[in-house]
Amino acid sequence: MRGGIFVDLTTIIGLLVCFILVIGGIMAGGQGIAFVDFQSMLIVGGGTVGALVTSNPPEKLKGFMKVLKMAFTGGSPDTVSLVQTIVSFAEKARREGLLALEADAAELDNEFLRKSIQLVVDGTDPELVKGILDTEIGILESRHSSNKAFFDSMAELAPAFGMLGTLIGLITMLGNLQDPNALGPGMAVALVTTFYGSLIANGFAIPIAKKLASRSSQEVLSMELMVEGVLSIQAGENPRIVEEKLKVFLPPALRLALEEKAKAAKEGGA
């Protein structure tokens, strides 16, 4: 039911474009070395990591790489194929009854759809089916929101520690006004830490959080489509009506793709 698991080039290309152009802009000014400051790295990097470790439970920290991987891999749900599968189930249920779906449901790769069909086949009350599936969707959204919150926190903390580094640099400057040689390093810490914090937040944390939110939105939409389809099958609705109801979940381009597939299937079977 998915378009396949693959490397998401948009995430990689986007991050590369961001950092390459920012670094390129710095180097074009001929003062690239001025943006490299070890003290600033310690303040922003160490402070952000330490605060994230403090504010998150161990199990969430252990799953950090798995969550990050989700932003770089994975495909959008194949909603066109999903609609076709559900409509074919509706046609079979109308011809042979709901019990005829059990064998086909067992072969589905999509665990949520398999579970949904099995609930219907088992004769579960429609309201209970909807309640169970809606609860599962809600828990999925909560889990995804928690994963996204990690990067939201990073986006808040990095600039905050950048500002802290700015204060440290200013304090260093004010404490050494009598020594002109100390003003330069103090100013570097004051400005470069703000730069590091802003770059981490806007060049990495916020884009990753938004990508995770997009992934979650797509998955939830496909699950809601499945719930609508399964409940329609259980109600014994006409397959054509089921298809029209599910088309509502598709953008215009995918609706057209669905119609073209259906047309090709009819011509092939003619």
In a domain, 101, yes or no: no
The per-residue pLDDT for range 136-186, each reduced to its tens digit, is 999 999 999 999 999 999 999 999 999 998 888 888 777 777 777 666 666
CB under 8 Å to 73, separation ≥6 — which residues? 5, 6, 7, 8
The per-residue pLDDT for range 63-93, each reduced to its tens digit, is 888 888 888 887 778 899 999 999 999 999 9
The per-residue pLDDT for range 236-252, each reduced to its tens digit, is 999 999 999 999 999 98
Per-residue confidence band for 210, with pLDDT thresholds at 50, 70 and 90: very high
In a domain, 114, yes or no: no
The per-residue pLDDT for range 145-159, each reduced to its tens digit, is 999 999 999 999 999
Give me 80's structure tokens.
């066109």
In a domain, 112, yes or no: no
Whether the pLDDT of residue 20 is over 50: the answer is yes
Cβ density class 12-40: b for 16+ within 10 Å, e for less:
eeebeeeeeeeeeebeeeeeeeebebebb
pLDDT for 229: 95
Give me 149's structure tokens.
């919150």
Q: What percent of the chain has pLDDT over 70?
A: 92
Residue 210: Cβ within 10 Å count: 14
Supply the range of the domain harboring residue 197: 9-81+124-269
In a domain, 207, yes or no: yes
**91 neighbors 262 (Cβ within 8 angstroms):** no
In a domain, 119, yes or no: no
Could you give the number of structural domains in the chain? 1
Record the pTM: 0.84
In a domain, 219, yes or no: yes
In a domain, 116, yes or no: no
In a domain, 168, yes or no: yes
